[in-house]
Amino acid sequence: MADFVFADDYRLGQNSTRQFYELFLKGLVHKHNNLMGVIQGFSSLILYDETINEEVKESAEQMQASAKTASELNRELLGASGCARCDQGTVRLEDVLPYWKNKIGEICGASSVGFTLNPRENLPPVSADSTRLGELIFHLIRNAAESAAGFPQGSIAIDIFPPGEASPGTNVDIFIRNTSVELSTDGLKKCFIPFETSKGSDHFGIGLTAAAVLAGDMGMRLGLRCSEGTMTAWLAIRTAA
């Protein structure tokens, strides 16, 4: 499938340099969250005062909302920078699929986008960190839902294939397809670049970055393809030994 653009450049090495930046970023996020907590607390105190005028109230509400958004960004940065710990183990997809389906429904419902989930029967166990694999899938679903929401009949389809059915080899293949604007090969490459987004300032632009880093840390391969108004994300997951 040569027409897919893969996120292979986002496989981070395990070395002392990475360990240093993990410690640095975790410390920075912790300190920054402490500051955001003070701002949120102070703005809440202001808003408790029912005698403040509308101008002050609006400023305090903006301050509180910005602090909350900054804390959410900090959480996303940890995953996108490779600071999320991955404990590789054996994951039975049939065990996690009910939770995935409910979460996907919440994400798609928030964007008013329909979805279908089509897992094949008798899927083998895969090698992954169950929590991080879920995060990876949900990053991909959010990106797909936000893209599909821009179309009147936008939708998402998730197909999960056992080894050998969708591609050669021993991987379990997950394909997430959504209605999308047309993107060139260069445009697809930019999707993985941190803080690159065409969806406006309300989006952090690091969801696909985090997905790419998580995939690399778990030994998976993530690719994107865009053709005839459909974006496809392909996640190839190794089966458990």
Tell me, yes or no, whether 1 lies in a domain.
no
Q: Same domain, yes or no, for 103 and 215? A: yes
Q: Same domain, yes or no, for 43 and 158? A: no
Q: Give pLDDT, residue 197.
A: 72
- Return the amino acid letter for 32: H
Tell me, yes or no, whether 169 lies in a domain.
yes
Is the pLDDT assigned to residue 1 strictly greater than 60? no
Query: Taking all residues of the chain, what is their mean pLDDT, rounded to a whole number?
Result: 92
Tell me, yes or no, whether 107 lies in a domain.
yes
Tell me, yes or no, whether 190 lies in a domain.
yes
Q: Give pLDDT, residue 62.
A: 92
Q: CB atoms < 10 A from the CB of 241, how many?
A: 6
* pTM for this model (two decimals): 0.87
Interval 171-182 mean pLDDT: 94
Tell me, yes or no, whether 49 lies in a domain.
yes
Is the pLDDT assigned to residue 11 strictly greater than 80? yes
Q: Give pLDDT, residue 133.
A: 97
Q: How many structural domains comprise the chain?
A: 2
* Domain containing residue 144: 87-238
Confidence of residue 201 (pLDDT cuts 50, 70, 90): low
**How far is the first Cα of the chain from the last one, in angstroms, to the nearest whole number?**
25
Q: Give pLDDT, residue 196.
A: 79
Q: Give pLDDT, residue 198.
A: 66
Is the pLDDT assigned to residue 200 strictly greater than 90? no
Is the pLDDT assigned to residue 2 strictly greater than 80? no
Q: Same domain, yes or no, for 96 and 57? A: no
Q: Same domain, yes or no, for 121 and 63? A: no
Q: Give pLDDT, residue 124.
A: 97
Residues 212/214/216/221 CA torsion (nearest 10 deg): -60
Q: Same domain, yes or no, for 72 and 136? A: no
Q: Same domain, yes or no, for 76 and 92? A: no
Q: Give pLDDT, residue 175.
A: 98
Tell me, yes or no, whether 2 lies in a domain.
no
- Residue 125 sits in a domain whose CATH number is 3.30.565.10
Interval 17-43 mean pLDDT: 92
Confidence of residue 14 (pLDDT cuts 50, 70, 90): confident
